[in-house]
Chain A
Amino acid sequence: MGNIIKIAIRNLLRYKRRTALTATLVTLGVVFVLVFTSIAGSFKNMMIGQITDSMLGHLQIHRKGYVAAIESLPLNMNIKQAGYQKLEAILKQEQGIVAYSPRIKFGAMFSNFMETTNIRLNGVDPQQEFATVPLLPDRIVSGSKTLKKGQILVPELLAKGMNVKVGDTVVVVATNQSGSVNGKQFVIGGILESATGPGGRDGYIHFDDAVELLRMEQPEISEIAVRIKDFGKLHKLEKRLKAAVTAERNTLGAPLFELHSWEELSPFAKIAKMLNLMTVFIKAMLIAIVLISIMNVMIMAVFERIREIGTIAAIGTPPATIRTLFLVEGLCLGLFGALVGNLVGIGIVLIVNLMKLTFSFGQQTGLVLKAAIAPSDIIMVSLIVVVVSVLATLQPALKASKMEPIDALRHV
């Protein structure tokens, strides 16, 4: 094989300009794919991270039917204590889970004693909540990055509109499940930066305060947000957890609970899917570039070397070896393009990172782009190039190996 590679490389170097042009095309294709994949991937990951780590969590568990009615935050669809204990047992058994946070979600009236407005609130245990959505404290733009009993975290736009600041006292009035109205005074503990996506403009109070405000005899949970260890294994864990969660049935045999991933809860999953689709499209373009450029150069190579093929066939070179000679030529072109393309692509991504490019996502501005090339992307792009190079060379190589030596030797 070493000799075949040597001959293949020398044949490629025979037409230096043509080989350089083809290799450049392949290189550019690889660079384009890698840079696009890394930047789009980084943007996507940052976007997903913002959504899951500051609001949603990776997975959410609700009582069956809650998500369909989530706009009205129905208290009558909360999970009772017994149900929550069952779910907690399931979550504690699952080793892929880092943290989970029970939330009481409800709508309330927010008053600064002068004006009143609506507010959507989450009653949370701050320790569990911050472990489940670790970017939430970062969204607290003023005030301490904690949430104590008696404090409320107010969304920035609402704080501006109601002209309240950290330390101010406000009143929250809520109607509970049985229709009785209750009010409670809170001190503004922090102002929350608005985030794009569901729950991005919700306020937060302590779990115990929510129980008290809604006059719950036993805490009832609207949802459980779940954070997993390895985001890459989300779908596997989701499947496993869904099976366990939906196994809990009522007396009629219908599932008691439902589990959704962030993708099902956030419209931004569609943008993420579009970015994935664009990456696939870019990879398809790479395949086309490699296929056309290498096939073109190899067809030319076979056509120009018909007499040579006749000579080596006449002196006894087996057809399989002739085929391999051309396949290795195409493979070498692809490998060279992939290697140089990977190096240049990595270089460009490093430069992009050094430039510290920023972008905005919804209300969040100044997010620094952290482009990164995953080893799996390098492997995937290299594999695509190598496999497509071989496929592109297959037809010319087969043609060369099937040539009758007598006809090839007669070729002028």
Chain B
Amino acid sequence: MPAEPLLSVRDLSMRFGGLLALDAVHFDVAPGEIYGVIGPNGAGKTTLFSCLVGALAPTRGEIRLRGGRIDGLPNHQVVARGLVRTHQIVRPFRDMSVRENVSVGAHFGSGRRRGADAARRVGGILERTGLSTRADAPASTLTIGELKRLEIARALAAEPQALCLDEVMGGLNPSEILEALSLIRSLRDSGLTILMIEHHVHAVVGVSDRILVLNFGQRIAEGPPADVVRDPEVVSAYLGGDDAVPLFPEA
């Protein structure tokens, strides 16, 4: 672990009435890392992302981005500091074209670009995410694969330092998943730090530097993918049993 993490989370808890959705979660993410977050349904993964970006105000805990506290800030201020998330259930602006959707990120993200500068940036991102040919199509006409890419494109246009991807591979076919994985790797290679929630465990194991496993809001394991998937507690969380069978035999 390098001395200065990009993102540092301590004692993070989120309570909804009687449900403790996150229970004293802690972790650090290094600059340039791909950090996977996995866990069974209802483990608190999306709640974690909502707390990180300020869409939800955590009940307790501390979130630091490059050393500065961001917990308690509203979502748009967290975006301005360079932490942006995508949505698991895609949320396009349906009356806008693809280009206009991405422009929202360029105008109001940390870059705050206007006019030709914004248009250039948007054009580059559409190119990179393979949406150029659909730039002027209404967002309501996109396929699910294109909508997932639009989520990433809009978030990129907001010029994050760290990008939180919430199941961007859900609903994609195998070749689209390969494309998404290569996009994620190329984003990291260009200096971006990535946090990703993913149900496709094989995909996340293949691409992540480290993985955090949540179960019922608690951190049950963290570390390199190869170690995490052999962890007995992780195996039992996924299979619901006590048998320490490796969950992902040398895939």
Q: Do A and B come from one complex?
A: no
Residues of A bordering B, CB below 8 Å: none
